[in-house]
């Protein structure tokens, strides 16, 4: 089965749209968070396999959250996204330990699908 996913974005409206997209692709979204703090709490309780995290968050940023989530003793994959398509985000995301970065308007593309699934398959 496809892994469980946590969505982190401070814009609830956009978060809802991403949840719909992922679900339409057959993924299981097990939680939503609007801040670093909420995300950490959620992850603690839900142990998602994958976290999709917006870089801009009100109480920190996606890179910081990535590092803190990956410091947990269970395995997790992180994909970072942002409405800012700056290519520098790709390298920064990889440095933080994420498996990839996508601009927000590419979230419906097969690229996201591949990122989540490939890694999921590899772990199986």
Partner 1 sequence: MIIGRAVRSLRSVWATTRAVSDMHDVARGQAALRRVTSIAAAGEPPETVFGAVTAEASAWLGGALIALTKYEGEGTESVVVAQTGGHVPLGARLHLTGDGVAARMWRSGRAERIDDYTRIAGPPLATDLGVRAVVAVPVTVDGNLWGALSVSSSLRPLPAGTEDRLALFAEIVAAVVVSAAARESVRALADEQAALLRVAALVARRAGETEIFEAVAVQAASLIYDEPTTLVRYEGGRTFTVLAHHNGPAPVGTKVTVPVGDAGTLDELLRTLKPARLDRYDTVADRSYSNRDYGVGSSVSVPIIVSGRLWGALGTLNEGRRLPTRTEERLGKFAELIASALANVEARGELERFAARQAALRQVAELVARGAALDEVFEAVAREASNVLAKSAANLFRYDGGCATAIATCRSPIPVGFQAAADAEPVGVREMHARQPLRFSAQATGSAAQDRDEVVIAVPVIVEGQLWGELSSTAPRVPSPAGAEHRLAEFAELAAAAIANAENKEKLRASRKRVVATADETRQRLQRDVHDGAQQRLVQTVLTLKLGLEAAARGENTAGLMREALDHAERATVELRDIVHGILPVSLARGGLSAGIDSLVVAATIPVDLDLTPQPLERLPGDVEVTAYFVVAEALTNVVKHAGATRARVTVAGGPDQLMIKVADDGAGGADPRGGTGLTGLLDRVEALNGTLMLTSTAGAGTTIRVTLPLPVPRSQ
Interface residue list for partner 1 (CB under 8 A): 10-11, 13-14, 17-18, 20-21, 24, 56, 83-84, 104-105, 107-109
Smaller CB separation from partner 1, 41 or 83: 83
The angle subtended at Cα 30 by Cα 28 and Cα 34, nearest 5°, is: 125
**Cβ of residue 75: shortest distance to partner 1, in angstroms?**
29
CB hemisphere CA count around 26 (13 angstroms): 7
Which residues are within 8 A (CB) of 118 and not within 5 positions of it... i.e. 6 or more apart? none
**Cβ of residue 14: shortest distance to partner 1, in angstroms?**
5
**Cβ of residue 94: shortest distance to partner 1, in angstroms?**
23
End-to-end CA distance of the chain: 10
CA 39, CA 42: separation in Å to the nearest integer? Answer: 5
CB 47 within 8 A of CB 69: no
Smaller CB separation from partner 1, 28 or 108: 108
**Cβ of residue 15: shortest distance to partner 1, in angstroms?**
10
Smaller CB separation from partner 1, 51 or 57: 57
Smaller CB separation from partner 1, 11 or 117: 11
């Amino acid at each position: 089965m496809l892994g469980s996913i946590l969505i982190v974005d401070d814009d609830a409206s956009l978060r809802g749209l991403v949840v719909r997209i992922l679900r339409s692709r057959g993924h299981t979204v097990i939680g939503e968070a609007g801040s670093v703090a909420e995300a950490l709490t959620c992850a603690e309780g839900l142990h998602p396999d994958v976290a999709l995290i917006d870089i801009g968050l009100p109480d920190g940023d996606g890179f910081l959250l990535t590092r803190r989530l990956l410091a947990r003793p269970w395995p997790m994959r992180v994909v970072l996204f942002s409405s800012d398509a700056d290519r520098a985000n790709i390298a920064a995301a990889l440095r933080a330990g994420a498996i990839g970065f996508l601009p927000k308007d590419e979230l419906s593309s097969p690229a996201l699908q591949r990122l989540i699934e490939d890694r999921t398959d590899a772990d199986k």
